């Protein structure tokens, strides 16, 4: 059986109270799945990192923590940034290159490469998002998420067959794991994770609801 990554990208959502409720719901469910086969990575806003870290440690599920961004700069005079060293105190993974950041914050391939290098410097595992099979991927990336823009937050996922084709092509470039993201839910998750070259999913809106996310984990 292959190892699956199930990544929750909470985006700019949830207060501390809502985060506590999410973990309470998860902990009250008696989820049964082989922990060795599914790696659950929760990526909250920076403000929630201490709480998510603490809640993850005592959670029923074995959850690890990621962030949704990383500064391209190291420590120093970079107002508003959160750097790799600071992130490493709370998290082990970092999402880089999400299309919402490329679009809203004009992140370029050059900047994404710097972010990737910072993640590596501080031993954070980058989860690098691509929008199509030709999107630039920095040398050395091990985990890629294929997220076609038209599938994000629209309820219109790509077809599992097309996602499989892209995943296969990306693996041929030397990437070890390829996930799919875009309108994944409890109903459609297994259609993606059952594909040979797809090693998991990145879940946005459906990860905000703890019950739905638990179903995604079980059905994956």
Cα 127 from chain centroid (whole Å): 6
Going along the chain, which residue ranges are E strands? 4-9, 38-43, 63-67, 93-96, 125-130, 143-146, 177-181, 200-203
Instruction: Name which of 106 and 172 has its Cβ closer to ligand PGA.
Output: 106
202 binds ligand PGA (CB under 6 A): yes
Distance from C-alpha of 29 to C-alpha of 80, rounded to nearest angstrom: 38
Site string for ligand PGA, 145-164 (x = CB under 6 A): --x----xx-----------
Catalytic residue numbers, as ranges: 98, 147
User: Which residues between 167 and 196 bind ligand PGA (CB under 6 A)?
Assistant: 181-184
Site string for ligand PGA, 3-32 (x = CB under 6 A): ------x-----------------------
Residue matched to tokens 């892209």: 166
Instruction: Name which of 60 and 154 has its Cβ closer to ligand PGA.
Output: 154
* Strand 125-130 with 143-146, pairing: parallel
Residues facing residue 32 across a β-bridge: none
Residues forming the site for ligand PGA (CB under 6 A): 9, 147, 152-153, 181-184, 202-206
């Amino acid at each position: 059986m292959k190892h699956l990554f199930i990544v929750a990208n909470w985006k700019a959502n949830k207060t501390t109270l809502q985060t506590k409720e999410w973990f309470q719901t998860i902990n009250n469910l008696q989820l049964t799945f082989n922990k060795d086969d599914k790696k659950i990575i929760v990526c909250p806003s920076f403000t929630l990192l201490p709480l998510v870290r603490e809640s993850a440690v005592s959670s029923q599920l074995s959850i690890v923590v990621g962030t949704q961004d990383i500064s391209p700069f190291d420590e120093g005079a970079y107002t508003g940034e959160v750097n790799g060293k600071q992130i490493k105190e709370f998290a082990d993974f970092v999402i880089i290159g999400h299309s919402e950041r490329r679009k809203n914050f004009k992140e370029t391939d050059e900047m994404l490469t710097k972010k990737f290098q910072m993640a590596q410097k501080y031993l954070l595992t980058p989860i690098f998002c691509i929008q199509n099979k030709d999107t630039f991927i920095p040398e050395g990336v091990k985990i890629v998420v294929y997220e076609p823009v038209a599938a994000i937050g629209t309820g219109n996922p790509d077809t599992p067959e097309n996602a499989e084709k892209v995943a296969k092509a990306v693996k041929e470039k030397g990437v070890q794991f390829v996930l799919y993201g875009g309108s994944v839910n409890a109903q459609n998750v297994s259609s993606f994770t059952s594909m040979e070259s797809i090693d998991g999913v990145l879940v946005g809106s459906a990860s905000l609801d703890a019950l739905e996310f638990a179903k995604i984990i079980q059905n994956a």
